[in-house]
Amino acid sequence: MKWVYERSGVLANKEKRFQLIRNILEVLSREFHPTANVGWLSNNIVDFVHEFVIDSAAYYEGLKLQSNKLAEDLLKSARNFIEEGRSPQEKFQRACGLSAATNVAPIGAPSEGFKFQEALNIMKAKNPLPTLMGDVFKAAQGATRVLYIADNAGEIGFDSLLIAKLKEIGLKVTLLVKEEPFFEDATLKDASFFGLDKLVDHISIVKGFFVLDKSPTAHRDLFKRSDLLIAKGTGNYEALKNELDGKKAIFMLKVKCGPIAADSGVDLGSFIVKLDP
């Protein structure tokens, strides 16, 4: 409820915000239940308040471009940090760590875009890499095809560095980005900004969060053909965890709520790279 309200109502006046709340509650009153998939529920609400999503698009367009440019300025330093790893495994882990550490959202500081301070602190040796759960490098080495589900604009630039490492290993990579408009999330335009349209083997566009049993056949087929899933962000974690039919997955995110903190065994606000075997 909070996630949709903050993003959809960013430009709405008081009267419109009241209507937005009513619309969100109308969907929740029909569809919320203890085992509801949060990603699917979010998609349904976003569809129902589509006029608000459209109205907020202009706000996010400028913010996303600013975020992409800020990320672009940091990529050379990030690439150097990754290459300073002493082995292919350490380089891969560093790429995962930076990708996870850039999983931030602009809502808290809407006038400044993403500053990627956590990633900067890691590169300057002020902070350690995010908590690593499981042998992600071994999981990547054992894969052939990867389905990489992006999250926000800006941070997708750091994803490009990890995807470059996946390509070095020899993997086929399909990238999933959002259909416009979808708040601060990365779209084809943001992927192309960082040259990902030339780096990956295929880019597919998904409407909202990728929810396996609710997605079009083409997207389900992409999932079935992959043997490793890499998913960024809280929304993708909630949409896909326990829905993988035994497929290996690497989740990279900032832990932004109590339930995920408890599930992962880390403190609220931590960044994690988590292998679900």
48, 93: one domain = no
- CA-based R_g, the chain, Å: 18
**What is the helix (H) or strand (E) element at residue 176, kind and residue range?**
strand 172-178
* Measured distance CA(238)–CA(71) in Å, rounded: 26
Region 177-203: mean pLDDT is: 97
Residues 85 and 26 in one domain: no
Whether residues 137 and 271 share a domain: the answer is yes
Q: What is the pLDDT of residue 242?
A: 86
Check residue 193 and give its pLDDT.
98
DSSP summary character for residue 152: B
Reply yes or no on whether the pLDDT at 114 is more than 90: no
Does position 109 have pLDDT exceeding 80, yes or no?
Answer: no
pLDDT digits (tens, 9 = 90+) for 120-163: 999 999 999 999 999 999 999 999 999 999 999 999 999 999 99
Q: Is the pLDDT of residue 112 over 90?
A: no
In this structure, are 141 and 201 located in the same domain? yes
10 lies in the same domain as 49: yes
pLDDT given at position 274: 97
Q: Edge-to-edge strands of the sheet including 131-133?
A: 131-133, 271-276, 248-254, 228-232, 145-149, 172-178, 202-206
- End-of-domain residue from the set 10, 38, 58: 58
Number of folded domains that form the chain:
2
**What CATH number does the domain containing 89 carry?**
3.40.50.10880
Q: Which of 36-40, 111-115, 263-267 has the lowest mean pLDDT?
A: 111-115
Amino acid at 161: L
Tokens of 138: 């071994």
Integer Cα distance of 37 and 124 in angstroms? 39
Query: What domain range is 126 assigned to?
Result: 67-276
Do 93 and 110 lie in a common domain?
Answer: yes
- Map 119-134 to HEC letters: HHHHHCCCCCCCEEEC
Assess whether 117 and 194 both reside in one domain: yes
Q: How would residue 277 be classed by pLDDT, with cut points 50, 70 and 90? A: confident
Q: What is the pLDDT of residue 86?
A: 97
Among 26, 58, 90, give the residue marking a domain's end.
Answer: 58
* pLDDT tens-digit series, residues 64-100: 999 999 999 999 999 999 999 999 999 999 999 999 9
Please indicate, yes or no, whether residues 174 and 204 belong to a single structural domain of this protein. yes
Do 151 and 254 sit in the same domain of this protein?
A: yes
106 pLDDT tier (thresholds 50, 70, 90): low
- Together in a domain, 42 and 84: no
Residue 117 CA to its chain's centroid (Å): 17
Q: Is 50 found in the same domain as 73?
A: no
- Give the tens place of pLDDT for each residue, 39-65: 999 999 999 999 999 999 999 999 999
CA dist., res. 156 & res. 241, Å (int): 21
Do 87 and 54 reside in the same domain of the chain?
no
46 with 182: CB under 8 angstroms? yes
pLDDT at residue number 263: 87
Residue 104 pLDDT exceeds 90: no
Per-residue pLDDT of 6-43, as tens digits, reads: 999 999 999 999 999 999 999 999 999 999 999 999 99
Which tokens hold the place of 70? Answer: 């800020």
**Are 174 and 203 within 8 A, CB to CB?**
yes
Cα distance between residue 192 and residue 172, in whole Å? 18
